[in-house]
Structure 1
Amino acid sequence: MRGGGIERAFVFPGQGTVGGEITGAARDAVLDYVGDTGVPYQLSVFAGSVDLLYRLREAGIEPDVVAGHSLGEYAAAHAAGSLGLADGVRLVAERDRLMNEASRENPGGMVALIGADPDSVVRAAEEASGIVVAANFNTPRQTVVSGQMDALERVTERVRGRKVPLEVSGAFHSPLMEGATGEMDELLRGVELEEPEIPMVGATDGVVLATADGVREALRKQMLSPVRWVDVVERLLALGVREIFEAGEDGTLTRMLRDFKRRDVEGRTAREVLS
């Protein structure tokens, strides 16, 4: 915190972004866990974010608050000092496995609706037959729906806006992930979390998490709950954040920040900051 206030946030992207280069301690932790079997997709995203976090810190750049979008909450919890690196690697690798299994058992997809009114999207999902929910409230003009493919089609036909199918392997943040939650809950219960050294904003409700129990609960409920990124950004701004640095490869969260139309906030990717 510069000058005693909260000014700078680090944010971490989730599924849909690309996994980045992994070096140093992040690479070692991943290889210690997976060996020569190949790095699961979600783990590559997590480790890439952690690697960028370490590089920012090596450059003397520290956050006052952190947040993560979906999968990115694991990197945020590590950045906050609550989740150890080895435990983070193990949890994310298992999260990848469990969600892929759930996706095979209950196929589905996700569609981003650009320019659609969020309330209209919620109503359309609630009134549609089949399993479909509003899963990500990413910006004031971008909402993502998730569910069975035929139900997704019924929702997208009812709302205005541009429809962009997401390149993901399943219907994340929907009831179709129910099969993955039980084992993930058990894994989370068995991990020792530390009290956060810096605050973390929860992705499902925009609440500031200042305890280990709060972080655990956020990670526990995120798989089935919608990502309310609008609430996260609004919370960061209310805290006084004026710099948002994204520890991710393709700048997804940085681009989304433009929809909030705030001239008093600067969003940059970690690679831009480090260049």
Structure 2
Amino acid sequence: MNAYIFPGQGAQFVGMGLDLYEKFPLAQELFERANEILGFSITDIMFEGTPEDLKQTKVTQPAIFLHSVIMSKVMGESFKPDMVAGHSLGEFSALVANGTLNFEDGLKLVSQRALAMQKACELQPSTMAAVLGLEDAIVEKICGETEGVVVAANYNCPGQLVISGDVEAINKACESMKEAGARRALVLPVGGAFHSPLMEPAREELATAIENTHFNEPLCPIYQNVSTVAVSDSNTIKSNLISQLTAPVKWTQSVQQMIKDGATLFTEVGPGKVLQGLVKKIERSAETTSPVFND
């Protein structure tokens, strides 16, 4: 069975999507439509901006979404998913790819999500840190014992977790992780505590937008970050998507469940190959690939 997976924030690079724009009239049309919807030329930033420009949350999230979704659209007949999943932001790309959301609504929600998260980040100094080489249970225990807000936010693969919370709590937790034997506990260059209770203001704002958006019944199941199991009911998808901003990204568990349900090939649609690497660390025998476009 074919599983299509969609990356999240951090996969961006300058020049992303330019090859699609130059090669496919459909891609050009969708990129231009995106510029109109967003009210600024995101293509200028994606194709020839600076890494600094591209790193702004309000740009990064729509840019990665557009790259992924447009890539899936130009694949045409060869895009045949039996199941989809996306890492954090990538869940929105996955929902357009499997027909739950249309292109315009997906882009509007991603843009609203980015702006809401940016606002939440400005309310309190907060950050995230990568913890390598510790068991999940130990990371969770240390988070629970640390004063302040700090939670496990991304279960990326066995031995690689990201924690999220207020700056002071993250620094304290990192010290405790190292004392407990972590290979590394490294604060990440991000602007806020994504997938933590500190994103509650953004969750509330996005909840309204999601509730007011029409969701179709999907063409194939999505394995959502919050629930990690196959979901095909549009109301459940909505509910999980609203919970996603303050809940952890259970990527390890989602991939394990997809394999259990018959996934044999994972195709990463979008910039980079980060998710392919994570899939291999979760299950070494899993086959991974990127879309191939013939000249």
Tell me the TM-score normalised to structure 1 length.
0.91
Structure 2's unaligned 5+ residue stretches are 22-26, 46-58
* Structure 2 CA distance for partners of 1:252 and 1:165, relative to 1, 3 Å: farther
Distance 2:37 2:144 in 1: 41
Say which of 252, 260, 263 aligns to 1:238. Answer: 260
Distance 2:290 2:283 in 1: 18
The superposition leaves residues 128-177 of structure 1 with CA deviations (integer Å, 9 ceiling, x where unpaired) of 00111100111111111001111111111112221233332211001111
Q: Quick check: 1:26 aligned with 2:30?
A: yes
More off after superposition, 171-180 vs 29-38? 29-38
More off after superposition, 104-113 vs 49-58? 49-58
Distance 1:83 1:153 in 2: 39
Q: What SS is found at the alignment partner of 1:134?
A: strand
Distance 1:201 1:188 in 2: 18
Look up the match of 1:4.
none
Contact 1:146 1:173 in 2 (8 A): yes
Say which of 67, 88, 107 aligns to 1:48. Answer: 67
Q: Quick check: 1:14 aligned with 2:32?
A: no
Distance 1:197 1:62 in 2: 10
Structure 2 residue identity aligned to 1:105 = L
Distance 2:71 2:41 in 1: 24
Look up the match of 2:288.
267
Distance 1:116 1:26 in 2: 43
Q: Quick check: 1:210 aligned with 2:232?
A: yes
Structure 2 residue identity aligned to 1:33 = I
Distance 2:190 2:225 in 1: 19
Distance 2:251 2:221 in 1: 16
Contact 2:35 2:41 in 1 (8 A): no
Structure 1 residue identity aligned to 2:60 = Y
Distance 1:242 1:140 in 2: 20
Structure 2 residue identity aligned to 1:21 = G
Runs of 4+ in 1 over 4 A off after TM superposition: none
Distance 2:76 2:160 in 1: 32
Q: CA deviation at 1:262?
A: 2.7
Say which of 193, 200, 203 aligns to 1:178. Answer: 200
Contact 1:16 1:167 in 2 (8 A): no
Q: Percent identity?
A: 32
Contact 1:110 1:165 in 2 (8 A): yes
Paired residues in the alignment total 265
Tell me the TM-score normalised to structure 2 length.
0.85
Structure 2 residue identity aligned to 1:97 = L
Contact 2:256 2:282 in 1 (8 A): no
* Structure 2 CA distance for partners of 1:116 and 1:98, relative to 1, 3 Å: same
* Structure 2 CA distance for partners of 1:128 and 1:219, relative to 1, 3 Å: same
Look up the match of 1:140.
158
Contact 2:174 2:186 in 1 (8 A): no
Q: What SS is found at the alignment partner of 2:271?
A: coil
Say which of 136, 144, 161 aligns to 1:118. Answer: 136
Structure 2 residue identity aligned to 1:32 = E
Distance 1:261 1:241 in 2: 11
Q: CA deviation at 1:203?
A: 1.1
Q: CA RMSD in A?
A: 1.6
Structure 2 residue identity aligned to 1:44 = A
Q: Quick check: 1:252 aligned with 2:274?
A: yes
* Structure 2 CA distance for partners of 1:168 and 1:248, relative to 1, 3 Å: farther
